Structure 1
């Protein structure tokens, strides 16, 4: 498929803004989804990565595409490739998000690029989010979005692909349908590959619902925070291969100097998401 890259580059510099108050109720639902606990009093520090649940686009249902994503051509450029995935990014934490604060997110399209991959044409959109809590800088996030062509089946594994490596620390996670549905609801994410098993199998040719990239990133950052006793200052992550529900997957960590290397994988499978945490 031909991509008019110069036209899409016209979206570079486009900005969007959202504001939402972080409530105790949202924190309680976030903690319940991840089987965690934290203070829910007003003024308390919010859990790491809860910013992904705030200020999401509220597109009317009638304006969603067949895949459950908002129709294109608004804030994000109208990339003609039909499949959209979260490829990775980086979060730099500046200060806490606090319960009861108004959380503001200013988003900027930074770049649009394209290339030819093993599965066909690919288009990458880079978005930078600047998040404030109560008017104070909380974090800066780079988000990498990838668009690709529809495929009749999953592409073959990359040359040299192998099982994920052994880890110094490991935690197993159950990845059933209620978990994925709850996370989709928390993030107001209508993408059907995460909760609609027939759609994931029959339309996008996956073996089952895809475990969200943001969910994996959230859990890896939580795991890094648990291992070191405090949230990292910089967290980088990249999706390498999808993993699917039902079935468990693992969170893995290994020391790397002052940092932690982290990754997710399904038992006996290849590495799915890789990350580094730096304090």
Structure 2
């Protein structure tokens, strides 16, 4: 048969090399709500919570070339982002790869393989699941029901029903409607030690406080007593204040509490016509 041409061998080698690299980021995920060990998503691939409410994947704000891993409502025409992993470190020009390694680490890479973000956990995970609450959880390799990391512990600019918020956590506004990088405004527990929630500008200037909790409402938010649309539960521990809100009224109604980039807080509910109402 004679010698095989060198150019042919080189071309086969290059094809094999590219295929092998792509296979290392293979989409083990075929729909579903879970990333298993060794699985990854890239491009338009996503995972969707069991009841179809929330979706996790890559997004790029309109008019930009930056790519982020985020969580949004799956069945709403207007893409509404509730969480962003790499808000300070976007992938440029095209999406990267989010992978749960065989070692149990969840990490985001850009298209060239550089690390952009990773979940902060010291315990090995067996899988990562997007829940119907909008929470991305990593479950323990040893105890399949133990959470070793969750996105609810690292909020961005949005609180969702059932999310426990307080202590050292902060909501930090987007820099602009097209840029999820941290903006100038934060919503957090009072750093002075007063058991209240405050709004702070530029990490230093407090411009609003909720007042202290009296068991039914914060003193500066008396309308909280009219529990028509939402209910607030408060844990007032010795060291910190924690708040959780749940939706009331319309059954299965979706809602979100947002710190907007102008410094205000807004509570939205989704109406039957799939439009957000302030």
Compute the TM-score of the two structures, normalised by the length of structure 1.
0.24
Higher RCO (CA-CA < 8 Å; seq separation 6+):
1
Compute the TM-score of the two structures, normalised by the length of structure 2.
0.24
- Between Structure 1 and Structure 2, the one with more strand by share is 2
Who wins on radius of gyration, i.e. which is larger?
Answer: 2
- Between Structure 1 and Structure 2, the one with more helix by share is 1
